[in-house]
């Protein structure tokens, strides 16, 4: 199986993909949207992209891409994130570089230990580590595995602001997964016209059928201020009778309902 992940080698996406399918052939892409476009075009059989982090919330680029591309979530991986500060050592650190998510996860550490350092963003943690190879005054925030891969020292371990730091990754493909009895379904709902009780009416469909929601989050529709898509995760599979019933109910009340996929829970 060919799986698309964020590159270059050494990213957390790569680690999540290896956890899901240890024997896969990995293909590396420049950002999460490129991974999903490759899945849609069937250039790879699957892609692994981050959905949300326990400290920083949803990954916007992934959420927006899932809405607009014709792909399906077929699995998920919950990966503990242990950020490290990597560098060549022996020089004063003047620049700290990483992907925006790890930088946000380590905001307090950077403020406490390197208040005068310039903070720069890059496309991935492994790209940051690769850059830190070249400049002694630069340090990267990445996983410990990137240190060995790029010939860097681990200057500090577990520098995330909260110890329990977990990222949930989606495994995305083109097929529909069969029910397993331990499934989760992801939806996107658009209400179009905001009115008192509109979201309540939607949520009541789930409550009346005893369906547990594990996540609900809004994303701007980009059509105007205060206009949102709602991303919902629920327990169950689209082939389950209660889930089929709730989909029929909310389709009558919402302007758009898109099933992003039903898949085994991590």
DSSP letters for 56-103: TEE-HHHHHHHHHS--EEEEEEEEE---EEEE--SS---EEEE-HHHH
Angle at 104 between CA 100 and CA 108, to 5 degrees: 145
Strands 2-6 and 46-53: parallel
- pLDDT tens digits for 242-265? 999 999 999 999 999 999 999 999
CA distance 266 to 238: 17
Q: For the domain that residue 198 is a member of, what is the CATH number?
A: 3.30.70.260
- pLDDT tens digits for 177-216? 999 999 999 999 998 766 677 888 999 999 999 999 999 9
Domain that holds residue 69: 2-81+165-173
What are 15's two structure tokens? 């680690």
Q: Maximum Cα–Cα distance for the chain, whole Å? A: 64
Query: Is residue 25 in a domain?
Result: yes
- pLDDT tens digits for 102-123? 999 999 999 999 999 999 999 9
Query: Is residue 178 in a domain?
Result: no
Q: For the domain that residue 16 is a member of, what is the CATH number?
A: 3.40.190.10
pTM: 0.91
Query: Is residue 120 in a domain?
Result: yes
Strands 228-235 and 183-190: antiparallel
Which residues belong to the active site?
167, 169
């Amino acid at each position: 199986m060919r799986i698309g992940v964020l590159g270059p080698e050494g990213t957390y996406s790569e680690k999540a993909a290896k956890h899901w399918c240890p024997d896969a052939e990995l293909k590396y892409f420049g950002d999460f949207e490129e991974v999903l476009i490759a899945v849609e075009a069937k250039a790879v059989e699957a892609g692994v992209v981050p959905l949300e982090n326990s400290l920083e919330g949803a990954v916007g680029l992934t959420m927006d891409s899932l809405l607009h591309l014709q792909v399906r979530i077929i699995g998920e991986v919950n990966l503990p994130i242990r950020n490290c500060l990597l560098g060549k050592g022996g020089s004063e650190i003047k620049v700290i570089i990483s992907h925006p998510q790890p930088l946000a996860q380590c905001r307090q550490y950077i403020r406490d230990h390197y208040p005068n350092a310039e903070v720069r963003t890059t496309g991935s943690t492994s790209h940051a580590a690769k850059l830190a190879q070249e400049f002694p005054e630069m340090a990267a925030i990445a996983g410990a595995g990137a240190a060995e891969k790029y010939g860097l020292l681990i200057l500090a371990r577990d520098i995330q602001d909260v110890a329990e730091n977990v990222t949930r990754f989606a495994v995305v493909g083109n097929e529909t997964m069969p029910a397993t009895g331990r499934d989760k379904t992801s939806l996107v709902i658009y209400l179009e016209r905001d009115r008192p009780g509109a979201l309540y009416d939607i949520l009541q469909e789930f409550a009346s059928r005893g369906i547990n929601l594990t996540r609900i989050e809004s994303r701007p529709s980009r059509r105007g201020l205060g206009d949102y898509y709602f991303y919902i995760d629920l327990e169950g599979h689209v082939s389950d009778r209660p889930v089929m019933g709730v989909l029929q109910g909310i389709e009558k009340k919402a302007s758009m309902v898109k099933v992003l996929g039903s898949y085994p829970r991590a």
